[in-house]
Each structure stands twice: as C-alpha cells, then as structure tokens.
C-alpha cells in the first residue's frame, strides 16, 4: 500500500492567504522530502526533514516533521502566484521509495 498520503489533491486559494498541506503515514518514517513541480515542469527538491519535530523555513515556506515522525506539514505564508504548482512529499522509509500523490495549488490573483 501507499506509504504516504496527501489529501486533498487540489486546493485553490486567494493570493495573500495562507496555505497548509499535510503528508501522512501509518508507519514511522525515517525521513520526509518535499518537492515542487511547476505546471509543465519537472519536480524540484525543496527540503528534507529527518529529526522528530524538526522545523525548517525557506522564506515564506515552513516545513515540519511530526513528533512521532508519521506526518509532515508544509505551510506557505501569504501565497503568491509564483507558489502555483504541485507539491509532493517523498519518503525512502522501509526500503520503499514512495511519492505521495501530491497537492496541486492554484492561486487566484
């Protein structure tokens, strides 16, 4: 079965609103990576989280690894049109290399 779940698959926000999405697993994960894919493009690595409760920031993006290492969140503050794309989580847990199905974010200007 799928290692990591991302629900919903689509989200629409107004420019300037905050956005949060989650990546969930039923098993403990050794690591979580996040990727972004712009429309028509290829996935690009954003960040990796390894430690329980770890928080990392990249400008308006905040990534967190859950205390139990079974979930991760991506929060975007004050979304911009440049944030449009699909965000995927990925894990190499338990020797299985698995991407979540992704969440596609659209931003209304």
Q: Which residues of this chain interact with another protein, rule CB under 8 A?
A: 6, 9, 30-31, 33, 35, 41-45, 48, 50, 88, 90, 92, 95, 97-102
Shortest Å, Cβ 42 to another protein: 4
Instruction: Give 62 or 99: the residue with its C-beta nearer to another protein.
Output: 99
Angle at 38 between CA 51 and CA 80, to 5 degrees: 80
Shortest Å, Cβ 16 to another protein: 28
Shortest Å, Cβ 33 to another protein: 7
Instruction: Give 46 or 77: the residue with its C-beta nearer to another protein.
Output: 46
**Residue that is written with structure tokens 């449009």 in the block:** 84
Instruction: Give 6 or 64: the residue with its C-beta nearer to another protein.
Output: 6
Helix (H) or strand (E) holding 94: none
> Left (φ > 0), alpha (ψ -120 to 50) or beta: where does 13 sit?
beta
Instruction: Give 16 or 41: the residue with its C-beta nearer to another protein.
Output: 41
In degrees and rounded to multiples of 5, residue 39 shows phi and psi of -55, 125
HSE (CB half, 13 Å, CA atoms) of 107?
19
């Amino acid at each position: 079965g799928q290692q990591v779940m991302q629900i919903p698959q689509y989200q629409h926000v107004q420019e300037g609103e905050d956005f949060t999405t989650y990546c969930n697993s039923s098993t403990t994960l050794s690591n979580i990576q996040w990727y972004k894919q712009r429309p028509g493009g290829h996935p690009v690595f954003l960040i990796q989280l390894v430690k329980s409760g770890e928080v990392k920031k990249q400008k308006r993006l905040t990534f967190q690894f859950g205390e139990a290492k079974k979930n991760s969140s991506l929060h975007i503050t004050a979304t911009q049109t440049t944030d449009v794309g699909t965000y995927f989580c990925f894990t190499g847990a338990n020797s299985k290399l698995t991407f979540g199905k992704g969440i596609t974010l659209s931003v209304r200007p």
